[in-house]
Amino acid sequence: MANSNPEIKYTQIFINNEFVNAVSGKTFPTINPSAGKKIVDVAEGDKADVDLAVKAAKAAFDRKAPWRQMDATARAKLIYKLIGLMERDLHYLANLESLDNGKPFNNAVYDVYGSIAALRYSAEWADKITGDTVPSDGPHLTYTRKEPVGVVGQIIPWNYPMLMLAWKWGPALATGCTVVMKPAEQTPLTALYLCSLVKEAGFPAGVVNVVPGYGPTAGHAISVHPDVRKVAFTGSVEIGKIIMAEAAGTLKKVSLELGGKSPLVICDDADVEEAAKIAYAGVFENMGQCCIAATRTFVQEGIYDAFVKKATELAKTRKVGCPFAQDTQHGPQVDETQFKKILGYIEKGKKEGAKLETGGVQEGKEGYFIQPTVFSNVTDEMTIAKEEIFGPVQSIIKFKTLDEVIERANATNFGLAAGIVTKSLNNALVFSNAVEAGSVWVNTYLAVAVQAPFGGYKQSGIGREMGKEGIELYLETKTVSIRLPTKV
Ligand code: NAI
Ligand code: MG
């Protein structure tokens, strides 16, 4: 059940299966975005703590350590145990996530299920990762082995704290890597509670380590650490570039899942009501704090006016309020920084000539709530059509032909996701082949699945998470050749 006051049990750094204070003794507050007030102080990790965490992860990865001696099936069983504990604590986890992040409780429950799905999908891979036998030239038996990369650093954002954790822990643990993770400073609480479940599930000490703290300190220490072999990051393009540059010093493998400015194209032949619903979900989900948010809604001229009317109506129905109320669909933005940034974008939209149809202001007086906002008459040059807003702002843009809209959809440095709503198979195929995006959805949106690879073209990222490719991100390939007898 929803409970706005869950007991906070863990606030320390998790290293070697123990909760410890920061070496510096420092702490930082995590905020409840519904009230703009501190929930609790959390240990603030920095280089010294990351060093200890990496040391523990490295020891756990030693070839003679229990984790490396385990069968793949045994690794999978540990992940299943963790899943069982998450199911047991489902509502507690969801309440903690709602409190720390602001998302409605019902959405947080959905996120716990999504996290479990990601862990289960990964666990099922554990004993199905195989190499090849290779018909190499010469008298050799040649085969490949798929081996875990080693200690992996994982830096995650605040929009889907548990889900992003599960997307990163799952493949790392299934393949036999060990983990040093930094959760976002805005939302450290569910990661720390999940650490207690890792211990309870019986994972060997040092396999999972979590260091809460800030990006330029704890995050930076992970990116440059010589014993971290791979860094997996989800967050902004700006920080993705910094991490990639910093990882170059030790030639770490890097996977990046960054932002987007995803186009959703609504063709004249679409049912206006259905299309408006798809677009509404695509942009307002999670208060617009979604890397795949459909923030450029391109609508063909024949249905443009009808679509704007319907989209505005829908946005007005969205129930904004306390994340713990049963009928709430829309909570606050995650923090004051994001709140102000989004209101700044809305002001720019108005100034640059877009027409504000609804919303555009704070909801209530407390916390970081923003009314679902719809702009029509948006043009490609406007700031709100170019930059990632990461808030509940829909920009509706007119187009004439499919050919033209494909060019416009691709005229961005981003390439995470795209969608089209049409009854024409031709339109759907032409668009989905031509659009430069890692995921394309036809007559639907946000159809992310743990079984399918997910990631970005261009500056939206490097590598694909989940699906088979997501498992491969955590593997090295070793080629072994054994000389065969040449005489029989
Ligand atoms: P961010 O990219 O700064 O934060 C993401 C993670 O990176 C956090 O854990 C943060 O502590 C860490 N980090 C920050 N600086 C770092 C550094 N120098 N080295 C290593 N780690 C570092 O994102 P932020 O500031 O929270 O949000 C800014 C914008 O980024 C948002 O408005 C949105 O546009 C975008 N964003 C995109 C996300 C996505 O899912 N693709 C998620 C979160 C934000
Ligand atoms: Mg918080």
pLDDT of residue 143: 98
Ligand 1 atom closest to 239 (CA): 2
% of the chain beyond a pLDDT of 90:
99
210 lines ligand 1 (CB under 6 A): no
Is residue 257 annotated as a catalytic residue, yes or no? Answer: yes
pLDDT of residue 486: 85
Ligand positioned closest to the Cα atom of 334: 2
pLDDT of residue 487: 84
Ligand 1 atom closest to 183 (CA): 9
184 lines ligand 1 (CB under 6 A): yes
Neighbours of 379 (CB within 10 A): 13
Catalytic one of 185, 257, 465, 472: 257
Catalytic one of 291, 357, 465, 472: 291
Atom 29 in ligand 1: residue holding the nearest Cα: 236
What is the CATH topology of the domain spanning 263-450? Aldehyde Dehydrogenase; Chain A, domain 2 (3.40.309)
| Domain boundaries of the chain, sorted by first residue | 13-258+460-478, 263-450
Could you read off the pLDDT of 394-439 as tens digits, one per residue? 999 999 999 999 999 999 999 999 999 999 999 999 999 999 999 9
Out of 236, 346, 383, mutate this one to test ligand 1's pocket (max ligand atoms within 8 Å of CB): namely 236
Interaxial angle between packed helices 90-101 and 161-175, expressed in degrees from 0 to 180 and rounded to the nearest 10: 130
31 CA distance to ligand 2 middle (Å): 4
Residues 6+ apart with CB under 8 A from 142: 133, 134, 135, 136, 479, 480, 481, 482
362 CA distance to ligand 1 middle (Å): 23
Domain 13-258+460-478: assigned CATH number: 3.40.605.10
Residue 328 banded pLDDT, cuts 50, 70, 90 = very high
480 CA distance to ligand 2 middle (Å): 49
% of the chain beyond a pLDDT of 70:
100
- Is the pLDDT score of 488 beyond 80? no
pLDDT of residue 387: 98
Atom 10 in ligand 1: residue holding the nearest Cα: 215
pLDDT of residue 207: 99
Please return the burial class of 370, using the count of CB atoms within 10 Å of its CB with bins 0-12, 13-18 and 19+: buried
Amino acid present at 293? A
CB of 41 closer than 8 Å to CB of 27: yes
Residues 6+ apart with CB under 8 A from 410: 434, 435, 436
Atom 12 in ligand 1: residue holding the nearest Cα: 215
Kindly state the average pLDDT of the residues 167-188. Answer: 98
